[in-house]
Amino acid sequence: MDKSIYDIIEKKLKIKIRPSRSVGGGCINDAEVLVDDKGNSYFLKKNLNSPPDMFFKEANGLNELARASVIRIPKPLLVDENFLLLEHIKSSPKSKNFDTNFGIAFAKLHKYTNKEFGFFEDNYIGSTPQKNIPDNDEKTNWIKFYLNKRILFQFRLLEKKGYADSKLRKGIKFIEDNIENILSGSENIPSLLHGDLWSGNYITDENGEACLIDPAVYYGNREADLAMTKLFGGFSSTFYKSYQEEFPLPDGYEYRENIYKLYHLMNHLNLFGGSYYYQTISILDFYSK
């Protein structure tokens, strides 16, 4: 642990930190549980090599999710260029009705809406910049926003990294030319999205209920959030059933699901390479064949 981070926390919060214990972090940041001299605990995320605004953007995303007041969000306590100190939520096993309650709460989150797509600032999806500030013609047009700020932005990154071979270029060109048809029938409502929800980005709280962490927040089509939950194994059938009963999806969402997975697969290809190329191509083939 960098002693300077301890010093900043102690000075800002006027506490004394006891020796800490490391906990499992993600692919990008390290994590620790801190305890002060009064026995209060805190959750610390740190990264001495992160972009200087990354933790500030994460804190803003958590605060935005909390505004909906429908699902537990850890409260940011202190943010700096190299760390984010959060409320420490002590986890318990999932409650009996966890999946039902989680599905309903997630649907209610999506009922929290905005006048425009995007967000007041750009942020990050993993460690990749995520462009959220819409151009004028994207503010109230989901299809244009999603094409330009999600698919084509990721494609330009893939070009820079040498992944954009002729097959990928052809597939993206097809998406660009046909996205109006592919997303036909979807809503044009800016819902509050977690932005990166999979099984690693929620925890259970003291009551065994869901708590959202590590967001990539923006206002967008809620089908994009649900598609991400299915990318790495998916959640339980009860979760999706409860969501549907609380906030039914428009017809055809199953067909549109893959184009929302595409954004995240392209991002994983940019971040990690490897097998994500073939998964990206398989989705492009799904729509172009």
- Active-site positions read 196
Q: How far apart are CA 105 and CA 97, in angstroms?
A: 12
Cβ–Cβ contacts within 10 Å for residue 52, how many? 9
Q: How far apart are CA 119 and CA 206, in angstroms?
A: 31
Q: How far apart are CA 156 and CA 261, in angstroms?
A: 18
Half-sphere exposure of 289 (CA within 13 A, CB side): 6
Alpha-helix runs per DSSP H in 130-236? 142-146, 153-161, 166-182, 222-229
Contacts for 77 with CB less than 8 Å, ≥ 6 apart: 13, 42, 85, 86, 87
Q: What is the widest separation between alpha-carbon atoms in the chain?
A: 63
- The DSSP string of 215-274 is ---EEE-HHHHHHHHTTTS---HHHHHHHHHHSPPPTTHHHHHHHHHHHHHHHHHHHH-T
Q: How far apart are CA 236 and CA 89, in angstroms?
A: 23
